[in-house]
Amino acid sequence: MKNILLVSSAQTRPLLLCILLLVVASACNHSAPPAPPAESVKLTKYPRNIILLIGDGMGISQITAAMYAHDAPLALEQFPIVGLIKTYASDDLITDSAAGATAFAAGVKTYNGAIGVNQDMVPVPTILEEAAARGMATGLIATSSITHATPAAFIAHVKYRHMMEEIAADFLKTPIDLFIGGGKKYFDRREKDNRNLYRELQTQGYLVSDYLQEDLSNIKLNAERPFAYFTADAEPLPFQSGRDYLVPATRLSLPFLEKRSREGFFLMIEGSQIDWGGHANDSEYIISEMLDFDQAIGAVLEFAKENGETLVIVTSDHETGGYAINTGSAMGNILGAFTTDKHTATLVPVFAFGPGAELFAGTYENTAIYDKMRNALNFKGISGSAASASSN
């Protein structure tokens, strides 16, 4: 359907593929020998769709606290495959979300603050861009601004994560089918130029709306038009303060993306503010965000079980807060404690369900998430990680 539903999107795909090839060629234009081929495992069944859910700042203790604070099993407990990943960045044992998300999105270890570039600041193709170039539908949903580090790393290429307006401009360079999150001001009230990206998206054929115009739950999507929705001017509220769009956004996106392309879809959903609860050393903040994120996971699992062609991956970019459940805690009453208000280097979990889930068992680098997703989607040709490695 993608090649007939949206003319502007179809016209941009050959250009996007050329850009991706140029990025890879540029990264490979060095005298060092080529990197070994990315992991390739023959699967008994390949997924048509991948949904990657990232709980920012979510470690084992954050999951445990939500589990013990809640009176029913978590959706996370339904996953048959569990693994662990090493989260360090290229320049620091303690990663930030930018380097961590770039590892997932492009398969490279890079410096803290980097968005979609390697440690030499060279842009690297992302799994979302590769999927779009192959005709798949793509989407991003976050409980932060959509220009925040994690969603940005899948679609933008800038030297530093705080370049929010540059990140917003990159959304118009890749034919993404759906994005939902905060950060409206980086699109329509820019300080560095006079562009109105909100209007430019509309010109490109997008249905664009926001929290000031209508509630997300009232929107009826037409699969013939891509969709952008802004949930806040800057950063959305915490769940405890009334933010309630993550589950509705998830449920809205799945049938929409399924209809957008016969080639399947790639969707990244971030529970962004688990991390913010860790930075605030606020146990209740963490637990409420975890439970909201878990409800979104439940909605995804419901879809995946019925669909039968969807690989679901849940992981984290890093742990935040050095969070622990202390003596005196009880079921329904968690006494949390913290060792820091920053990130830590502890391993974080990976959960997988559906065709290709077996790839995600074991202990491995965070960059392997990208390679395993490419393997699951049966993407051929040089990967972004291999191109980056050969440039060093």
- The residues annotated with a catalytic role in the active site are 97
Phi, psi dihedral angles at 264 (to 5 degrees): 95, -175
Q: How far apart are CA 370 and CA 270, in angstroms?
A: 16
Q: Which residues are CB-neighbours of 85 under 8 A, at least 6 positions away? A: 315, 347, 348, 349, 350, 363, 364, 365, 366, 368, 369
Task: Please give the Cα distance from 59 to 318 (Å, whole number).
Answer: 7
Pairing of strands 81-86, 362-365: parallel
Query: 72-101: string of b/e by CB count within 10 Å (b at 16+)?
Result: eebbbeebebebbbbbbbbeeebbbbbbbb
- SS3 string, 246-272, reads HHHHHHHHHHHHHHHCCCCEEEEEEEC
Cα–Cα distance for residue pair 254/261, rounded to 1 Å: 12
DSSP one-letter code for 219: -
Question: For residues 20 and 386, what is the distance between their CA atoms, to the nearest angstrom?
Answer: 14
Give helix 97-106 / helix 368-376 axis angle, nearest 10°: 30
State the DSSP string of 136-202.
Answer: -EEEEEEEEETTSHHHHTTT--BSSTT-HHHHHHHTTTS--SEEEEE-THHHHS-SSS---HHHHHH
